[in-house]
Amino acid sequence: MNKATRKTIIAGNWKMNKTPDEAKALISEMAPLVKDADCDVIACVPFVDLAVAQQAAEGSNIKIGAENCHWEVSGAYTGEISATMLKAMGIEYVIIGHSERRQYFGETDVTVNKRVRAALDAGLTVILCVGELKEEREQGITAELCRMQTKVALQGVTAEEMSRIVIAYEPVWAIGTGLTATADQADEVCGIIRDVIAELYSTEVAEATTIQYGGSMNDANAEELLSKVNVDGGLIGGASLVAEKFAKIVEFASK
């Protein structure tokens, strides 16, 4: 395993937080703090904040992403935003399959796959989230679950397109709970996901794919989590809303 073969990516997932004015202020506060980053830095923000966040990030090394997209290009889908629309406004990244979408909005492995396909077709890079529930970990089916979520989500995705897929392993029991997977648990499951990619594609593709950990990652635990060979970055919720904390995580990822 060689971490040097892939990009380290620290991405914030702001979830349903920050008005446009607040988004502008937060990006402006973060930009000088992360300017020396030796990793990719992304902020995934609510749809209404995208334009203002892009403006605030101009000239900095912060890239702006969205938190979801629909699978159709356009049509009668009230309340949805298409990948094509995101691309048209210059957005590069989109989170797909976050557990909150799966838990609260009926997202399934099949719809996750459709959204992944649409995002790739539109030219976006996908941050694909997978991860087990607490009960699933207790039942000992974490590996099977994460393998299946990854496989279904990647159906129809080519080896070439894998360069535009980032995977985030986010154990649901660790999201927003203050509970973090231990560094060894995170490393183990990120490794299992890497094995699936090797089976589906090749060792080269698996070695080149960035696999992040997400779930209560913060400035106090990031250093240990990021030291693991299979953990290539983080998808950060709560701590991404505080500029100094997010910058600290970026600093650890840059070492």
Q: Which is nearer to ligand 13P, 65 or 237 (CB)?
A: 237
Measured CA to CA, the distance from residue 232 to residue 178 in angstroms comes to: 21
> Residue 172 pairs with which residues in a beta bridge?
none
* Whether 70 is catalytic: no
Shortest gap between Cβ of 178 and ligand 13P (angstroms)?
8
Helix, strand, coil percentages in the chain from 3-state DSSP, rounded to 5: 45, 15, 35
For the bound state, the minimum distance from the C-beta of residue 180 to ligand 13P, rounded and expressed in Å, comes to: 8
Length of the chain: 255
Question: Token pair 């970055």 is at which residue?
Answer: 233
Report yes or no: 236 and 249 within 8 Å, Cβ to Cβ.
yes
In the complex, least distance from residue 177 CB atom to ligand 13P, rounded to whole angstroms: 7
Taking CB positions, which residue lies at the least distance from ligand 13P?
237
Smaller CB separation from ligand 13P, 170 or 187: 170
170 is catalytic: yes
Cβ nearer to ligand 13P, comparing 57 with 235: 235
Q: Which one of the listed residues 98, 107, 132, 251 is annotated catalytic?
A: 98
Shortest Cβ 172–ligand 13P spacing (Å) = 9
Closest C-alpha among 134, 127, 141, 131 to residue 102? 131
Residue pair 95/44 in contact by the 8 Å Cβ criterion: yes
Backbone phi and psi for residue 139, each to the nearest 5 degrees, phi listed first? -80, -5
Where do contacts with ligand 13P occur on this chain (CB under 6 A)?
13, 98, 170, 175-176, 214-217, 235-239
CA–CA separation, 87 vs 69, rounded Å?
Answer: 11
| Separation of alpha carbons 215 and 168, rounded Å | 10
- Judged by beta carbon, residue 65 or residue 205, the one nearer ligand 13P is 65
Nearer to ligand 13P, 13 or 209 (CB): 13
Indicate which residue of 67, 100, 170, 251 is catalytic.
170
CB of 163 to ligand 13P, least distance (A): 22
| Residue of 110, 184, 127, 172 whose CA lies nearest to 13 | 127
Active-site residue set: 98, 170
